[in-house]
Amino acid sequence: MTEHAPTCHSGGGSGSTGRSAGAGTPHPLDPLTAEEFRVAAAVLRRDQGVDERWRFASIELREPAKDIVRAFRPGDPIRREARVTAWSRDEGIPYKAVVSLTDDAVLAWEAVPGQQANMTLDEWHEAHEVLIRHPDVVAALEKRGITDLDLVLIDTWAYGHSLIPQGLQERRVGWTDVWRRSAPNGNPYANPVAGLHFVVDLNSMELLQVEDTPPAAQPEVMGEYVPALVPGLQQRTDIRPLEITQPEGVSFDLDGSELRWQKWTMRLGFNHREGLVIHRLAYDGRPVAHRMSFAEMVVPYRDPSPDHHRRTAFDIGEWGLGFMTTSLKLGCDCLGDITYVDAVLHDTRGEPYTIENAICLHEEDDGVLWKHVDEKAGAEVRRSRRMVVSFHATVANYEYLVYWRFYQDGTVQCEVRATGIMVTSAFQGSPPPYGTVVDEQTYAPIHQHFVVARLDMEVDGPQNTLVVTESEALPVDEDNPYGLAVVTRSRAVESESQGRLDVDFATQRSFKVVNRTKPNRLGTAPGYKLYPTSAIPSLADPGAPFRQRAQVIDHPVWVSRFDAEERWPSGEFCNQSSRDAGLPVWQEADRPLVDTDLVLWHVFGIHHVPRPEDWPVMPVDVFSFELKPVGFFDRNPALDVPPSGSGHCS
C-alpha cells in the first residue's frame, strides 16, 4: 500500500493524506502480503505440529531464481514461496522451512540444532513485563531507592556465546540493562542503573541470575531532550518556514512495488531482517544491480568494564532492521511532495501487522549538476535532482536513518545517519580511558558501527568482474623530467582467495565492477566504481570474541560468487554465535570470479569517539558510500537534463 502526502509543515505533521496507489501490477519480487504471512504460519501448524508453544522468528519471501525474474513479463503466472524460521519454546531447536503459498504445502523442514534464531520484539517486551514484576528484581531496585516501577526500562540484549554464563550456553538467554526515567516522558537512557543486570531464559521467561554490584554514586545529569523537560530551554525564534513545493506534482511513478523516476527503474522490497531492499535497479533499461540491501550491522562497545563488556550488537542478524523500522508519519522525517509506502511484517504468532509509512519516496534538489561559463556562449547551468528512497529504524537507544539516493548522472549513493541517545555510565575519581566525559561524573564509551552492504551487481548483465585499480607516480627520468607522470595499473580479482580487499590512501586504490563481455563505444568495459568513503578499521585483537563472530569487519571490501543461500555475512544464526559462519567460510571454496555472477560486499561505518555535543541526543553522524558509472556511458549522461524552468534561475 502507498499513500501520498504534501509538504511536511513546520508544525511537525506530515501533511494530510491524499491518494492511494493501490496494489499495482503483481511481480514475483513483491513482498509478502498479510494473507500470505497467515497462510505460511497456518500450513506449518497444520502439517508440522506448530502450536501455541512455538514462536515464528522470521517469515519472508523466498525470492525466485534470477533467470525467472529476468524472464518475467506482466501477466505471467507467479509462484509464491516463503522462508520460515520457527522454534518450540519447549524443545528450543530452531527449524527452517520453505512453504509453497501457491501449492499450500511444506517443501522443506529442517532442524538446526545448536543454533538460536533471531531475537524478536515480542520476547523483548515480554522479558520486561515478566522481570519488572519479579520479586528479586523489585528487591534489587528497591535497594537502590527505585520504587516507581513505571519509570523503569529493562532492555534485553543478545549474547555472544563466549560470554554466556557457564551452564547456560545451550539455553536461549538474554542479558539486560536497567534504565530509569526521571519523569513519565523522560529519557530513560539518562539514568543507567549501573551494576544491575539480569540473565533471563527467553523460552521460559525465567530469571536465571541477578548481577548486582555496588555502583558509583549516581550524579545529577541533564539528560533530557524533550523541550518541556529541558531546564531553561528557550527555542530559537529566528527560523522562518522553509517550504518545498512541486506545484505540478512529482516526476516519479509507483506501480505497486516498481518505482520509475526519469531513467531509473527499480523494485522496492522489504523484510524483517534487512528492512528496505532495492531490486532490479536499471538505468535507461540497462541493468546495474539485481539486489542491494544491508546484510549485517555490528556495533561493538570498546569498553571492558562490567557494564559494557558484553555490549556488542548484531542489529540485523540478532534483531532485524525490518522489525525495528518506525513509521514516518509522526514527524518531519521527509520534506517535500512525499509518497509513503507501508510495510507488512509478522509477530511471533505469525500474525501480520502493518508499519504505516515505513518507506519514504521523494525528490530533492541537489545543487548544481554541471556548469560552464564561456565568454562567447555564455553560461550553461543544470541543476541536479535526486530520487530518495529512505527508511528509519529505532534500535533501542540508537536511530539509523537510511537513504538510497539516485542521481541523474547514473550515480547511486547510500547514506546512513546515526542519531539517538548514547549509552553512558557514572564514574568516581578519574574518568575511564575508554570513553568521553559528557556530563557530571558521566562518560560515554567509545564504540563502532559497522554496516555491511550486500551489492548483488549486474552491470549490463550478470557476467561481471571486479577490477582493482591503483595509481602510481613514475620516477623522474628523461620521459618524466618534472616528476608529473601518474599512471594506473589494474588487475582483475580472479578468485575468492583474492576477494578480501582493503583501501589504500597511498595508491588511491579503487574497486570497479565491470562487464568485459560488452565493451562500450570506446572499447573499454562498462562498469560501476565503489567509492568507499567511510571505511574504518576494526582496531581489535584477532582473538577478540566479537571479531571472531564478525570476521567480515576485517576488510572493507569483499567479493564472492553469487549463491542464493549466501545472504548473511556473519552467518544466518548469529544470535549466541561463537564464530563467523558466513562470508569468510564461503570464500574458502575459492570459486572463480571472472566474467560471472558476483556479489560485492562493502563494510562502512563510524568509529565513534563521543563528544560532549553528542549528549543528550546526538546530532546525526553521517557515513556513506557511492557507486559511480565508469565507462557505463560514452559521455556525460546528464547532457539531456533541461535548464531549470524556475524564475529564480533567470
The DSSP code for 234 is -
Return the closest-CA partner of residue 112 out of 136, 97, 130, 95. Answer: 95
Q: How far is 9 from 262, CA to CA, in rounded Å?
A: 27
Select which of 155, 177, 315, 409 is catalytic. Answer: 315
- What is the sign of the dihedral through the CA atoms of 634, 465, 460 and 600? negative
**Helix/strand/coil for 420:** strand
**Is 315 tagged catalytic?**
yes
Residues whose CB is less than 8 angstroms from the CB of residue 240 and which lie 6 or more positions away in sequence, other chains included: none
State the residue for C-alpha cell 560552464. Answer: 372
Select which of 159, 398, 400, 407 is catalytic. Answer: 398
DSSP string, 422-458: ---EE-SSSPPTTEEEEETTEEEE-EEEEEEEEEEE-
Residue type, 553: I
Residue pair 342/2 in contact by the 8 Å Cβ criterion: yes
Return the closest-CA partner of residue 448 out of 279, 300, 255, 347. Answer: 300
Residue pair 451/437 in contact by the 8 Å Cβ criterion: no
User: Please, is 148 exposed, middle or buried when counting C-beta atoms within 10 Å of its C-beta (0-12, 13-18, 19+)?
Assistant: exposed
State the residue for C-alpha cell 523503569. Answer: 152
369 grid coordinates? 549538476
3 grid coordinates? 499513500
Q: How far is 72 from 26, CA to CA, in rounded Å?
A: 11
Q: How far is 251 from 99, CA to CA, in rounded Å?
A: 39
Q: Which residues face 630 on adjacent strands? A: 527
Return the closest-CA partner of residue 134 out of 216, 201, 232. Answer: 201
The angle subtended at Cα 639 by Cα 637 and Cα 643, nearest 5°, is: 135
Q: How far is 179 from 306, CA to CA, in rounded Å?
A: 16
Our CA dihedral for 20, 23, 29, 32, rounded to 10 degrees, sits at 100
**Helix/strand/coil for 501:** strand
Three-state SS sequence of 507-547: CCCEEEEECCCCCCCCCCCCEEEEECCCCCCCCCCCCCHHH
Q: What does the longest C-alpha to C-alpha distance in the chain come to?
A: 86
573 grid coordinates? 544464526
Three-state SS sequence of 181-221: CCCCCCCHHHCECCCEEEEEECCCCEEEEEEECCCCCCCCC
213 grid coordinates? 554490584
Catalytic residue numbers? 315, 398
